[in-house]
């Protein structure tokens, strides 16, 4: 289980917090000894798409750490005030400059060790125009046999791509895949 100690000071009054189990809780939390505010540390949502153009999928080569220079699907952290779908569309535009239509949630992958949940939507590209943003070195379309599998940045991306190509070969309806990435 991920044990984080990210909160050092109370967001309400600035006092150094202490980690302890509040009454009626089941785990340690950052608690302010001065104003008694309990601060919660929750998983981050990573949202993105698996954009498809004909027989090809869109990948982005990362211009940022972690995994600078490796390939990923367009994705990033969900922002406050947006839905999972809105965030996935925003990230696709920001990272690849691609215009897509969402076709349904495809993978939901828990990455407990880093406190994240990754959501990927299948997406139909509306055209093949790409305009990568500053977090992307290059955006490219790949046939399955051309994907640089040894240069995929994240295990969630690899799993999503593998599920997609398996579903396509089997000719099924692309069901939702839920799993845990160790």
Q: pLDDT 10s digit of each residue in the chain, 182 long?
A: 455 678 999 999 999 999 999 999 999 999 999 999 999 988 999 999 999 999 999 999 999 999 999 999 999 999 999 999 999 999 999 999 999 999 999 999 999 999 999 999 999 999 999 999 999 999 999 999 999 999 999 999 999 999 999 999 999 799 999 999 98
Quote the pLDDT of residue 172: 77
Residues 27 and 67 in one domain: no
Contacts of 58 (CB under 8 A, 6+ apart): 51, 52, 73, 74, 96, 98, 125, 130, 139, 140, 141, 142
CA distance 136 to 72: 10
CA distance 170 to 100: 24
Quote the pLDDT of residue 166: 97
The predicted model scores a pTM of 0.90
CATH code at 68?
Answer: 3.90.79.10
CATH code at 20?
Answer: 2.20.70.10
* Total number of domains in the chain: 2
54 is in which domain, residue-wise? 44-180
Quote the pLDDT of residue 95: 98
171 φ/ψ sector (left φ>0, alpha ψ -120 to 50, else beta): left
DSSP 8-state code for residue 63: S
Residues 9 and 93 in one domain: no
Residues 116 and 27 in one domain: no
């Amino acid at each position: 289980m991920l044990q984080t100690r990210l909160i050092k000071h109370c967001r309400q009054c600035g006092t150094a917090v202490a980690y302890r189990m509040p009454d009626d809780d089941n785990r340690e939390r950052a608690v302010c000894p001065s104003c008694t505010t309990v601060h919660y540390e929750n998983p981050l949502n990573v949202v993105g798409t698996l954009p498809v153009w004909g027989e090809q999928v869109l990948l982005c080569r990362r211009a940022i750490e972690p995994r600078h220079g490796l390939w990923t699907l367009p994705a990033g952290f969900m922002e406050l005030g947006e839905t999972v779908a809105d965030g996935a569309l925003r990230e696709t535009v920001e990272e690849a400059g691609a215009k897509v239509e969402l076709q349904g949630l495809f993978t939901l992958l828990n990455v407990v060790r880093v406190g994240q949940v990754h959501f990927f939507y299948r997406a139909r590209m509306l055209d093949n125009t790409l305009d990568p943003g500053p977090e992307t070195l290059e955006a490219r379309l790949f046939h399955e046999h051309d994907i640089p599998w040894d240069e995929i940045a994240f295990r969630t991306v690899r799993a999503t791509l593998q599920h997609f190509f398996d579903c396509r070969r089997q000719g099924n309806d692309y069901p939702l895949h839920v799993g845990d990435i160790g």
